[in-house]
Structure 1
Amino acid sequence: MNTTQETLEVYQGQFGQFTITPEDRRGVKIYRGGLLLAALSFAVGSGLILWQGATSLTLSLLTPLFGLFCLGLAISLITIHIYLIPLHRLLQFCWGIGVISAVIIAGNSQEPLAVTVYHQPLTLLGMGFMFVALTGIYFKEAFCFNRLETKLLTPLVPFLLLGHLSGVLPLLVEQILLGSWAGLFMIFALRKVPQEIPSDIGDKSVFTYLKQQRSVSVS
């Protein structure tokens, strides 16, 4: 079957038939590209700090890598398919709070952002919302596709961040958890690349039905 035929294939959904358009497919590719960008920048940054330590070169690279991570996450949050619109907007809102907090913290600190966050864990009360959004993606993927890596990432991320925030985790444990997070995130992003595109689009008839329901409620 060629690409044109595949995009015009009719699927049977819960509330009726639907087709997957080239725009739908493009959106999924962009979503996966955003995940890959976020995962790669996070893995590089984590690898630098874990294996090179807090050298001047590492610290100078961490902030731009964090910026790429934020960009990749934003792209994914815009293009991800989530049936519940309020939940989708909530994840985007959390990302926004996290980014604004990071900008404010970086602008008011004379140290690199990573150093400030490490030495002042309370900064995670603002920046941590960004990782709430990321964990939301992990949870959605674990629920929809039963992926082992996302099942592990869903509790791992809040455990590490809350552990650092409260100061109860030894440095070695934090390093192990950070390395595990980076590795599992890369596995997750790379495994998304060859996944069939329609699976990430989901049942479009559900989106149509929910949109109709909202229109009825407004009218």
Structure 2
Amino acid sequence: MDSAVNETPVVYSGQFGDYTITKGDRRGVVLYRAGLVVAALTFGAGAAIALFFPHNPTLVQAISVLYTLFWLGLGLSLATIHIYLVPLHRLLQAVWLGGGVASLVLSHGIDGPLAQTVMQRPAVLWGVGFTFVALTGIFFKEAFCFDRLETKLLTPLVPLLLLGHLAGWLPLGVEQGLLAAWAVLFLVFALRKVVQPIVPDIGDKSVFTYLKQQRSASQSPS
């Protein structure tokens, strides 16, 4: 006789009714966090090269590969993140895609490494920078939902560094310090997400259901 016991799913009480957590929900959170870890590690490696080996042409060229992996990891996170407001979710995905397209076009239109071009020609951030707008959106969401210190620091730090470099009013030493802080705080954030309980990252599924019903009702012919 089969002695296996079927597990009874846990029922959670949400704002608009009860709901259960599925394996698919948990898998989505794992993928979200995996994307963040990939993005944080590759960003940190690229930042380390830029800070400590800026005159090594081989390593500087490798930043382009690291950036590609960072962009893909960020895309995985944006595909699996739980955000109640669908328009905001789509906006973050759109700016992520825009930043990637701009980076691809730029990479094929310049002679030197992408990182070197960003340093020497800050105006390219009007395209490449959209990738980091999407990243800042994740930091803001995490700061708002989980009150994490590192994301509350990263939310203003990222635009401060990018806009400061774009406008040319940040000294090099300050830019380097901000970049180092960004890399460290991003890694702390990603590693803390790995050990965080999964259920809070899924959110209140009853809210998602309610909002979906509201959208369906508004699109139905009267």
TM-score by length of 2: 0.95
Separation (CA, whole Å) in 1 of partners of 2:147 and 2:219: 36
Q: CA RMSD in A?
A: 1.0
Separation (CA, whole Å) in 1 of partners of 2:139 and 2:50: 24
Separation (CA, whole Å) in 2 of partners of 1:5 and 1:50: 52
Residue 3 (structure 2) aligns with: none
- Residue pairs, 1:185-200, within 5 angstroms: 185-200=186-201
Q: CA deviation at 1:52?
A: 1.8
**1:72 aligns to 2:94 (yes or no):** no
Separation (CA, whole Å) in 2 of partners of 1:125 and 1:30: 29
**1:58 aligns to 2:59 (yes or no):** yes
Separation (CA, whole Å) in 1 of partners of 2:69 and 2:25: 24
- The runs of 4+ residues in structure 1 deviating greater than 3 Å are none
Residue 19 (structure 1) aligns with: 20
Q: CA deviation at 1:56?
A: 1.3
Structure 2, unmatched stretches of 5+, are 1-5
Q: What does the per-residue CA deviation read over 1:74-103, in whole Å, with 9 as the maximum and x for residues that have no partner? A: 000000000000000000000011001001
Residue 148 (structure 2) aligns with: 147
Residue 183 (structure 2) aligns with: 182
Separation (CA, whole Å) in 2 of partners of 1:29 and 1:217: 33
Q: CA deviation at 1:5?
A: 4.0
Residues 102 and 127 in structure 2, CA contact (< 8 A), matched pair in contact too: yes
Separation (CA, whole Å) in 2 of partners of 1:5 and 1:78: 29
Q: CA deviation at 1:59?
A: 1.3
- Paired amino acid for 2:20: T
Q: What does the per-residue CA deviation read over 1:94-128, in whole Å, with 9 as the maximum and x for residues that have no partner? A: 00110010011111000111111111101001111
- SS of match in other structure, 1:70: helix
Separation (CA, whole Å) in 1 of partners of 2:202 and 2:76: 16
Q: What does the per-residue CA deviation read over 1:119-176, in whole Å, with 9 as the maximum and x for residues that have no partner? A: 1101001111111100000000000000000000000000000000000000000000
Separation (CA, whole Å) in 1 of partners of 2:198 and 2:115: 36
Q: Higher Cα Rg: structure 1 or 2?
A: 2
Q: What does the per-residue CA deviation read over 1:33-90, in whole Å, with 9 as the maximum and x for residues that have no partner? A: 0000000000011011111223112112101000000000000000000000000000
TM-score by length of 1: 0.96
Separation (CA, whole Å) in 1 of partners of 2:179 and 2:96: 20
Figure out how many residues of one structure are paired with residues of the other and give that number: 215
Residue 31 (structure 1) aligns with: 32
Separation (CA, whole Å) in 2 of partners of 1:185 and 1:154: 11
Separation (CA, whole Å) in 2 of partners of 1:53 and 1:114: 10
Q: What does the per-residue CA deviation read over 1:18-42, in whole Å, with 9 as the maximum and x for residues that have no partner? A: 0000000000000000000000000
Q: What is the aligned-residue identity percentage?
A: 60
Residue 206 (structure 1) aligns with: 207
- Residue pairs, 1:46-195, within 5 angstroms: 46-195=47-196
- SS of match in other structure, 1:17: strand
